[in-house]
Structure 1
Amino acid sequence: MAITLPNMVLSLKGHRHSTPFPSKKPPPSPLLRRKNLFQGAETPPPVIPKVLSKTTGSMTSIIKELDREEQKEKEEEQSNERKLSDYWREIQGQDDWVGMLDPIDPLLRSELIRYGEMAQSCYDAFDFDPFSKYCGTCRFIRRRFFDSLGLTSLGYDVTRYLYATSNINLPNFFKKSRWPKVWSRNANWIGYVAVSNDETSERLGRRDITIAWRGTVTRLEWIADLMDFLRPISSDKIIPCPDPTVKAEAGFLDLYTDKDENCRFCKYSAREQILTEVRKLIYQYPNEELSITITGHSLGSALAILSAYDIVETGLNLTDDGRAVPVCVFSFSGPRVGNIRFKERLEGLGVKVLRVVNVHDTVPKVPGLFFNEQVPKLVQKMAEGLPWCYSHVGIELELDHKNSPFLKDASAPTNFHNLEAHLHLLDGYHGKGKRFVLSSKRDIALVNKAADFLKDHHLVPPFWRQDENKGMVRNQEGRWVQPERPKLDDHPPDMHHHIKHLGLPSDS
């Protein structure tokens, strides 16, 4: 009678977990039993029919593979037993993630995915439909932000929405409504500031202040909008820096520091909004362990790095009792932000940056396509005075979408840049050269939420995330209309107080 290979494997697995020979002695360990089965030992092995001798090699490899899977699951369980509250400083880059990336630390992986989801929420909540009269806003009220996105388990409360003015040279970053009467002609919602609640803070081991920046929702056209030249950070006397050779990309600086006195949402710059909110939260929790974590994807990643530098350069992360609140950036698929002096200054101030990139994505390769940190030191030295010589900052974690068996090999470059794809790659990444295995069973369907990247046999429709009826509802007369939304949050009334206390120049 023929015995199939799967049945044979099950039979052998049964041998591994039973006592093959009657004895008063304790049963041999699974490892010893496997040795007896396949390597020979003093204990005679079980009889294997001759008809199966040709499949022994295959069965051996299959069982070894099963053993590796079991061992990996045990290691994951043991790692997850560690309390995040005991290791949060290492996760936030206290030691520059030495020994935590290859193989990747499971706690670090889960935290990267968690902050990546907070960056992704900026896309999921953004109204970018030009036919909406609220185009350019967040679709949800601040107090129900995470609830509306199904992210209640994060355990954070959004304390402030962030806005920027569109009067800069990055038009594809902004979205405008076609309606004649709109909420604002010059403002766009660009992210939020949130703080962990009591329960989450206990689990994290500290009170975490998170800033999440929105990236661009238009494919990759924004790259063409980069002015692509470096400007001294201190040139406008807005961001203090004692070194005039520290430079950042001009478009990023404009987006971060510009404001519009005639717009109620942009009468304060994004910089002023962030610094005042962070200051308020630090003083709100004076006797607690704190951290400041900033996250963003794409262009939002550049703004995350710039704002992290600003917070530390201004000394905003210093408490009254002299403690320095650690500042960490988890960047996803971000471009270069500044020159080599910017890199040296930022890292010298103690800002920790971990950049997650897909090696096939073009965005992390710009600006500075020809003069960057990868050219020889002599060339860097010769080109450091040029307005096009850039350098990445921090530590890089390289991922490769070709390692995932779920993703298409040939696809559009925009898919290589997709944030949900990066989170999928993180979930399956265990280290360089190691097999891609999903660790948290994160739903692969999320990859196709705003992309066409999953292999067709998974039967997940591309670009499946849609607002029901595109936000249209029936009114009392039975007509389909756009519903009114609650009044948009304005700036808090104590802005002047915090701006004055920080010594920020403001005419508002």
Structure 2
Amino acid sequence: MGYVAVCTDEDEIKRLGRRDIVVSWRGTVTYLEWIYDLKDILHSPNFTNDPSIKMELGFYDLYTKKEDTCNFCSFSAREQVLAEIKRLLDYYDGEEISITITGHSLGAALAIITAYDIAELGVNIVNDGRVTHKIPITVYSFGGPRVGNLKFKERCEELGVKVLRVINIHDKVPTVPGIFANEKLQFQKYLEETVSFPWSYAHVGVELTLDHTHSPFLKPASDLGCAHNLEAHLHLLDGYHGKGQRFCLANKRDIALVNKDSNFLKKEYGVPPHWRQDENKGMVKNNDGRWVLPERARVEAHPHDISYHLNKILKIATGSSQLKQAQ
């Protein structure tokens, strides 16, 4: 479903002014995930005592459910990611840290839920012995759907979670889930800005709107899959220089990546559609100059100390809850 990484490049740490922890979630792949995506029901999570904060049931289930009979799923995605973040925060204790969470489509929804969860539990609150401060949490969302209701949005803002949502204006995924049809989206936007209904879905954060018809490399395709494609979003982001500005690739990102899992590039660029083959992922060149799949070591089910770090998070959450009650 994703991974947790940490910056170890000293030059990059110096440039940022801090060490960044990154959580990255992938989008929908399996049929089961599609079923969960379609669970368009608002559900009150157990992350807080406020029952008015709700999120989409399918996203919540994917984040919190676990399967005791599976060696790799005896801990939920939530437990695994929280434990790893806590481990890294303890390991780099005393340093300036930031947490960046990203994802595409379903992964974008899970990224926002993860950011909210970390902030709600207070995992990002650290005390260096003299002063208590919050580690900043930022989400970069690509083609993400709505995740929760207006109360969820308001709580994310209250907790200081920063979200930048990158969307393609022709992509339909960011318009769901919701109670209104597409032709009534403007009306829903009005409601979201003026009325606080507990059953109304709302986006979190600031939106960066892109348009694939502005790229000279892409077909004016009506294919919904192309409009939602992650590589297309990254291509559009590379060429975007502000509203009304000329499209120009700033980082020279290879346009061939757009067709990795789509047929979105114009034919004159000679890039075959859907060229990526999963079975060839990670091939390496051997001594004979041939590309082969490398032997991979067996992956252990879970880190041995995951329960230890989860217990530390539980203590943080319990202490925070008691503090709120005292206040």
> After TM superposition, is the score higher than 0.5?
yes
Return the offset for 1:377. 5.5
Q: Indicate the RMSD between aligned Cα atoms, in angstroms.
A: 2.6
Aligned mates of 1:292, 1:470 — CA distance in 2: 28
Corresponding position of 1:400 = 211
Corresponding position of 1:153 = none
Letter in 2 for 1:341: K
Corresponding position of 1:490 = 301
Letter in 2 for 1:284: Y
Corresponding position of 1:332 = 142
Corresponding position of 1:295 = 102
Contact in 2 for aligned 1:211/1:294 (Cα 8 Å): yes
Distance change >3 Å, CA 498–CA 395, structure 1 → 2: same
Residue 213 (str. 1) matches residue 20 (str. 2): no
Distance change >3 Å, CA 469–CA 502, structure 1 → 2: closer
Return the offset for 1:242. 2.9
Corresponding position of 1:256 = 63
Return the offset for 1:380. 4.0
Equivalent residue in structure 1 for 2:270, among 447, 459, 474? 459
Aligned mates of 1:440, 1:399 — CA distance in 2: 17
Aligned mates of 1:447, 1:332 — CA distance in 2: 15
Return the offset for 1:223. 7.3
Structure ranking higher on relative contact order (CA contacts 8 Å, 6+ apart): 2
Return the offset for 1:471. 9.1
Distance change >3 Å, CA 502–CA 224, structure 1 → 2: closer
Aligned mates of 1:217, 1:272 — CA distance in 2: 21
Distance change >3 Å, CA 500–CA 471, structure 1 → 2: closer
Return the offset for 1:466. 2.5
Equivalent residue in structure 2 for 1:439, among 245, 250, 253? 250
Residue 424 (str. 1) matches residue 231 (str. 2): no
Return the offset for 1:366. 0.4
Contact in 1 for aligned 2:36/2:62 (Cα 8 Å): no
Distance change >3 Å, CA 399–CA 369, structure 1 → 2: farther
Return the offset for 1:495. 1.6
Count of aligned pairs between the two proteins: 299
Aligned mates of 1:225, 1:327 — CA distance in 2: 25
Return the offset for 1:490. 2.2
Corresponding position of 2:174 = 364
Letter in 2 for 1:214: R
What's the % identity of the aligned pairs? 58
Distance change >3 Å, CA 470–CA 195, structure 1 → 2: closer
Which secondary structure state, in structure 1, belongs to the residue aligned with residue 15 of structure 2?
helix
Corresponding position of 2:117 = 310
Distance change >3 Å, CA 443–CA 244, structure 1 → 2: same
**Which 5+ residue runs of structure 2 have no aligned equivalent?**
284-292, 318-327
Corresponding position of 1:413 = 224
Structure having the higher Rg: 1
- What is the correspondence of 1:100-111 to structure 2 with a 5 Å cutoff? none
Equivalent residue in structure 2 for 1:323, among 121, 130, 133? 133
Contact in 1 for aligned 2:140/2:166 (Cα 8 Å): yes
Aligned mates of 2:63, 2:281 — CA distance in 1: 31
Contact in 1 for aligned 2:150/2:192 (Cα 8 Å): no
Aligned mates of 1:228, 1:453 — CA distance in 2: 30
Aligned mates of 2:123, 2:228 — CA distance in 1: 33
Return the offset for 1:442. 1.4
Q: TM-score, normalised by structure 2?
A: 0.84
**Which 5+ residue runs of structure 1 have no aligned equivalent?**
1-189, 473-481
Map Cα deviations across residues 86-145 of structure 1 (whole Å, 9 max, x no partner).
xxxxxxxxxxxxxxxxxxxxxxxxxxxxxxxxxxxxxxxxxxxxxxxxxxxxxxxxxxxx
Map Cα deviations across residues 66-89 of structure 1 (whole Å, 9 max, x no partner).
xxxxxxxxxxxxxxxxxxxxxxxx
Contact in 1 for aligned 2:150/2:198 (Cα 8 Å): no
Equivalent residue in structure 1 for 2:79, among 272, 275, 288? 272
Residue 191 (str. 1) matches residue 2 (str. 2): yes
Distance change >3 Å, CA 279–CA 431, structure 1 → 2: same
Corresponding position of 1:343 = 153
Aligned mates of 1:276, 1:462 — CA distance in 2: 40
Map Cα deviations across residues 123-177 of structure 1 (whole Å, 9 max, x no partner).
xxxxxxxxxxxxxxxxxxxxxxxxxxxxxxxxxxxxxxxxxxxxxxxxxxxxxxx
Contact in 1 for aligned 2:36/2:58 (Cα 8 Å): no
Letter in 2 for 1:304: A
Contact in 2 for aligned 1:411/1:453 (Cα 8 Å): no
Distance change >3 Å, CA 374–CA 467, structure 1 → 2: closer
Contact in 1 for aligned 2:126/2:135 (Cα 8 Å): yes
Aligned mates of 1:489, 1:430 — CA distance in 2: 45
Letter in 2 for 1:256: Y
Equivalent residue in structure 1 for 2:191, among 348, 366, 376? 376
Corresponding position of 2:164 = 354
Aligned mates of 2:29, 2:123 — CA distance in 1: 31
Contact in 2 for aligned 1:276/1:499 (Cα 8 Å): yes
Aligned mates of 1:363, 1:374 — CA distance in 2: 16
Contact in 1 for aligned 2:149/2:198 (Cα 8 Å): no
Which secondary structure state, in structure 2, belongs to the residue aligned with residue 376 of structure 1?
helix
Residue 391 (str. 1) matches residue 198 (str. 2): no
Aligned mates of 1:377, 1:400 — CA distance in 2: 24
Distance change >3 Å, CA 262–CA 452, structure 1 → 2: same
Which secondary structure state, in structure 2, belongs to the residue aligned with residue 251 of structure 1?
helix
Aligned mates of 1:204, 1:379 — CA distance in 2: 38
Aligned mates of 1:290, 1:469 — CA distance in 2: 36
Which secondary structure state, in structure 2, belongs to the residue aligned with residue 319 of structure 1?
strand
